[in-house]
C-alpha cells in the first residue's frame, strides 16, 4: 500500500475544477507517477505542491497551514 498525499487537484470530485490554487490533474498524475517510477518501494508519495502540508508539523507551520486551508 502506498499513501498518496495530494494537494488540491483540479477535478470535479470536490468542485475544484476551476480553482487557480489547485494543481492541474495531468501535472499531478505526471509527478506522482514519476515519483513512483523513481522509488517503487516508497510507502508514501508527496508531490512538491503538497510538501508544505505534509511537513507542516515538523517545521512548525501547522497552525498557519491549517488557517490557510480553512480560509480557502
Domain tally, the chain: 1
49, 6 Cβ separation under 8 angstroms: no
Tell me 14's DSSP state.
Answer: T
Tell me 11's DSSP state.
Answer: S
- Residue 34's domain comprises 3-71
Q: Would strands 44-46 and 23-24 be described as parallel, antiparallel, or unpaired? A: unpaired
Q: Is 49 left (phi over 0), alpha (psi -120 to 50) or beta?
A: alpha
Say what the pTM is.
Answer: 0.79
How many angstroms separate the CA atoms of 44 and 39, rounded? 10
Q: Tens digit of pLDDT for each residue in 18-69?
A: 988 899 999 999 999 999 999 999 999 999 999 998 999 999 999 998 998 8
How many angstroms separate the CA atoms of 19 and 60, rounded? 27
Amino acid at each position: 500500500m502506498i499513501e498518496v498525499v495530494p494537494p488540491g487537484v483540479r477535478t470535479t470530485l470536490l468542485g475544484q475544477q476551476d480553482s487557480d490554487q489547485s494543481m492541474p490533474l495531468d501535472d499531478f498524475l505526471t509527478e506522482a507517477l514519476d515519483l513512483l517510477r523513481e522509488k517503487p518501494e516508497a510507502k508514501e508519495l508527496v508531490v512538491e505542491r503538497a510538501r508544505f502540508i505534509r511537513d507542516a508539523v515538523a517545521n512548525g507551520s501547522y497552525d498557519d497551514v491549517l488557517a490557510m486551508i480553512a480560509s480557502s
